[in-house]
Amino acid sequence: MKNDDIWLVFGCSPFINKIKNKIPLLLKKYHSIGINCFPAYYPDCEYWLFNDAGVFTNLVKNNYNNQKLIVNKNLESELKALWINQHRYIIQDNFVIPPYYIFETVTDKPVFEKNGKLFGSYTSALHAINYAILENAKAVVLIGVDLSPSWDHFYDKRPVGKPKKELEVIKNHLNQFGSHIKIYKVNIKANLDVEYIRLNTLLSENFFEKFIAKMLHLWWKMIQKLKSFVNIYKFK
């Protein structure tokens, strides 16, 4: 049975090649969202999120393994998505598949209910984090999401490049998730201002119990601070 509180978001940075032998076990243990090309190489990924019609045309059609597709509504016309009996399907060259969740991008603030919108810009990883929140995840671990300025990928050697301004926007959006979800990175060298967690810790048997204990301790401390504040206010 998979852990419902901790979700993994897999990107496509070269870091994936360094941990590829451990990925199958991670996919078995946790709920996972693979963005863009990742699930084409690791088809046991549970969710497949993409914003580019080319990902579907070139990859999903040939590598689909019953993943739950999270698709940007902007692709509706390109992918020939149609309403059939009040359900939306992607129909292309005799290939028919129902997306699991269809979303529109918003950039003002994170979304906390399933209203067909997801927060973020410049990377699908932000949409994936927001979706994990909608599934009541308490923490998300970024794997292969490193925000490298070269913006290169594990499956080729052609750096795309990402402007510094866009990287700063992504970091700002990560900060906007704030206290709504705990965000970790497994690549200590990743250009991310979030807490580092060792991959072996994720794979350890008692990590989940330790995580819950830590969360309960934080809640207890918050309650104690609130009680102190109330007592001080009462005696003023």
What's the predicted TM-score (pTM) here?
0.83
Question: pLDDT tens digit string along 88-102?
Answer: 666 666 667 778 898
The pLDDT confidence band at residue 179, using thresholds 50, 70 and 90, is confident
d(CA 203, CA 220): 27
Report the chain's terminal Cα–Cα distance, integer Å.
Answer: 52
**Residue 83: band (very low, low, confident or very high) from pLDDT cuts 50, 70, 90:** very low
Q: How far apart are CA 155 and CA 37, in angstroms?
A: 9
pLDDT band, residue 60 (cuts 50/70/90): confident
Mean pLDDT within 51-77: 83
Average pLDDT over residues 37-48: 94
Parallel, antiparallel or unpaired: strands 182-185 and 139-143? parallel
Please give the distance of CA 108 from its chain centroid, rounded to a whole number.
18
Under DSSP, is residue 155 helix (H, G, I), strand (E, B) or coil?
Answer: coil
CB 49 within 8 A of CB 28: no
